[in-house]
């Protein structure tokens, strides 16, 4: 597909309604610190709209802007900044009255169905839809101010539109989707010129919980993790915090993006197959924790490793790792509500020798290894969390490791602004993080959409290997 051309129609800023939010500072917790130097999180949502650009600008855009402003009354940190002072002062999120987020409206000449397809597409095809975060500012005392969020709305005349967010990793997936669902709910519930219906969030939709005092830190993890940051050369730290997808991925001609769908039938058969293979091969059933997440991640991990074009021949005794995140909300030892605004996830890593992953029992071995880590989290959620920054650095430097991002439980396809549920949702930053993304399915409750970015040749091999596994599992009944 020829690369799309985008024309900027409007560049503006959106803030909470005047005098509705006082200046507020939110400290970072030990859940936040490991994510400070990660690149921006970038997600895109595509919607049908078979009308002209002019019609969209006149009828839909005003309501989207107005409802975003009302939503920011409660999700005000997104209009603020990540403030990073010099040592020994602590980084924090600061909203000052009058702050706003960048909001861009653009028009594209792209063919909408090509952008929302599942088949392999050049990663650059979606780049024109991605907003660039505003440039950070500095104070004379060396304090940095990093804007937290930028939004771009791209119109595809007579076809549809997309909403794409770039944001610093100051919240996790659950908090971000809470914001998106709240914005969509207010948009559905209001019309331009109507009352301040953001208060309706207090009824059928819960308000975000901003109180950071609920995060207890008896082990002093915040200081331990901050030391890791403070020990970096300061200019290097700034570059890490400010990196973005637009300047990380350059001339990436051979990278393609694809989405693979595992429907509910695929997943149920895969679970049964893992159980039967485990029993047939004499594996320890006590180590088996079978869930949609475990079997999906195991299958994708094995397919990715087996599809790798390796030269020279890899060492089969080398340890490969799969990293994933686990949500600490609503656990008895923390009592953190599901509406908590911020990061509230911890990382866990499953480890296996390459020989196990590429062997005949690779998926079962992977499922056992991942399931073991899930059980560890259930027993001790914060085990090893003090090493999370070291682990993240290791994952980023060694190509044989992979990470899982997103979750089908977040319900991306429930984000309806009053024009129907999305035609497609994708996590874009996987192209520079090397992650595999998981999401719910648009048209199959209980199914999983898997997104990944690979070289063109490897993607073709991955697709073939995945298809063969699914056919073998289906024929094993």
User: How do residues 362-401 score in pLDDT, each as one tens digit?
Assistant: 999 999 999 999 988 888 877 777 776 666 666 555 556 7
Tell whether the model's pLDDT for residue 203 goes beyond 70: no
What is the band of 469 on the pLDDT scale with cuts at 50, 70, 90? very high
User: How do residues 307-318 score in pLDDT, each as one tens digit?
Assistant: 987 766 778 888
The total number of residues shown for the chain amounts to 477
Q: In what order do the strands lie in the sheet with 424-427?
A: 6-14, 101-108, 149-156, 160-167, 41-48, 424-427
Tell whether the model's pLDDT for residue 201 goes beyond 50: yes
One DSSP character per residue, 238-291 reads HHHHH--HHHH--S-TTEEEEEEEE-HHHHHHHHHHHHHHHHHTT--GGG----
For position 251, what pLDDT does the model report?
Answer: 44
For position 245, what pLDDT does the model report?
Answer: 42
- Residue ranges of domains in the chain, CATH in brackets: 6-248 (3.30.559.10), 255-474 (3.30.559.10)
Report how far residue 242's alpha carbon sits from residue 427's, in angstroms, rounded to the nearest whole number. 19
Tell whether the model's pLDDT for residue 410 goes beyond 60: yes
Beta bridge pairs of residue 209: 340
Report how far residue 79's alpha carbon sits from residue 107's, in angstroms, rounded to the nearest whole number. 24
125 noted as active-site residue: no
Q: What integer is the mean pLDDT of 226-249? A: 73
* pTM of structure: 0.93
Q: Provide the mean pLDDT of the chain.
A: 88
For position 255, what pLDDT does the model report?
Answer: 92
Tokens of 77: 């940190």
User: How do residues 266-294 score in pLDDT, each as one tens digit?
Assistant: 999 999 999 888 888 777 666 678 899 99
For position 350, what pLDDT does the model report?
Answer: 93
For position 365, what pLDDT does the model report?
Answer: 93
169 noted as active-site residue: yes
Contact (CB, 8 A) for 127 and 12 = no
Tokens of 27: 């400290």
For position 401, what pLDDT does the model report?
Answer: 79
For position 92, what pLDDT does the model report?
Answer: 97
Considering the candidates 122, 125, 242, 416, report the single residue annotated as catalytic: 416
Report how far residue 321's alpha carbon sits from residue 352's, in angstroms, rounded to the nearest whole number. 7
Tell whether the model's pLDDT for residue 157 goes beyond 60: yes
**Strand 144-147 relative to strand 137-138: parallel, antiparallel, unpaired?**
antiparallel
Considering the candidates 32, 74, 99, 169, report the single residue annotated as catalytic: 169
């Amino acid at each position: 597909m020829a690369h799309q051309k985008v024309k900027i129609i409007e560049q503006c800023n959106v803030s909470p309604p005047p005098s509705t939010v006082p200046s507020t500072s939110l400290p970072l917790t030990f859940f936040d610190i490991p994510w400070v130097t990660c690149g921006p999180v970038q997600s895109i949502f595509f919607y049908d709209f078979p009308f002209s650009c002019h019609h969209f600008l006149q009828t839909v855009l005003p309501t989207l802007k107005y409802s975003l402003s009302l939503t920011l009354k409660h999700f005000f940190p997104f209009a603020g900044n990540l403030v990073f002072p010099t040592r020994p002062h602590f980084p924090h999120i600061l909203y000052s009255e009058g702050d706003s987020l960048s909001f861009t409206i653009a028009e594209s000449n792209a063919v909408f169905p090509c952008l929302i397809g599942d088949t392999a597409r050049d990663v650059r095809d979606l780049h024109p839809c991605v907003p660039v975060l505003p440039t950070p500012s500095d104070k004379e005392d060396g304090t940095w101010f990093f804007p937290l969020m930028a939004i771009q709305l791209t119109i595809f005349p007579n076809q549809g539109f997309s909403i794409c967010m770039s944001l610093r990793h100051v919240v996790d997936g659950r908090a971000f989707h809470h914001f998106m669902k709240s914005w969509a709910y207010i948009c559905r519930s209001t019309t331009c010129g109507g009352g301040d219906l953001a208060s309706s969030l207090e009824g059928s939709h819960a308000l975000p919980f901003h109180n950071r005092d609920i995060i207890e830190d008896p082990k002093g993890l915040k200081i331990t993790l901050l030391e890791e940051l403070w020990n970096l050369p300061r200019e290097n730290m700034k570059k890490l915090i400010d990196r973005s997808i637009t300047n990380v991925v350059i001339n990436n001609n051979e990278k393609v993006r694809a989405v693979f769908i595992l429907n509910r039938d695929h997943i149920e058969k895969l679970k049964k197959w893992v159980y039967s293979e485990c029993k047939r091969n004499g594996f320890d059933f006590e180590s088996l924790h079978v869930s949609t997440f475990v079997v999906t991640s195991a299958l994708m991990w094995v397919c990715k490793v087996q599809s790798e074009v390796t030269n020279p021949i890899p060492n089969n005794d080398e340890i490969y790792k799969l990293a994933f995140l686990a949500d600490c909300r609503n656990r008895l030892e923390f009592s953190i509500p599901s509406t908590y605004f911020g990061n509230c996830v911890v990382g866990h890593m499953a480890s296996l020798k390459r020989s196990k992953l590429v062997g005949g029992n690779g998926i079962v071995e992977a499922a056992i290894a991942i399931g073991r880590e899930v059980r560890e989290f259930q027993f001790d959620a914060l085990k090893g969390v003090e090493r999370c920054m070291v682990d993240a650095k290791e994952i980023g430097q060694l190509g044989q490791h992979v990470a899982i991002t997103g979750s089908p439980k977040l319900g991306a396809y429930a984000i309806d602004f009053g024009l129907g549920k999305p035609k497609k949702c994708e996590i874009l930053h996987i192209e520079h993080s090397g992650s595999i993304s998981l999401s719910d399915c648009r048209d199959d409750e209980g199914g999983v959409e898997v997104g990944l970015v690979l070289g063109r040749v490897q993607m073709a091999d991955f697709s073939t290997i995945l298809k063969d596994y699914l056919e073998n599992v289906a024929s094993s009944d």
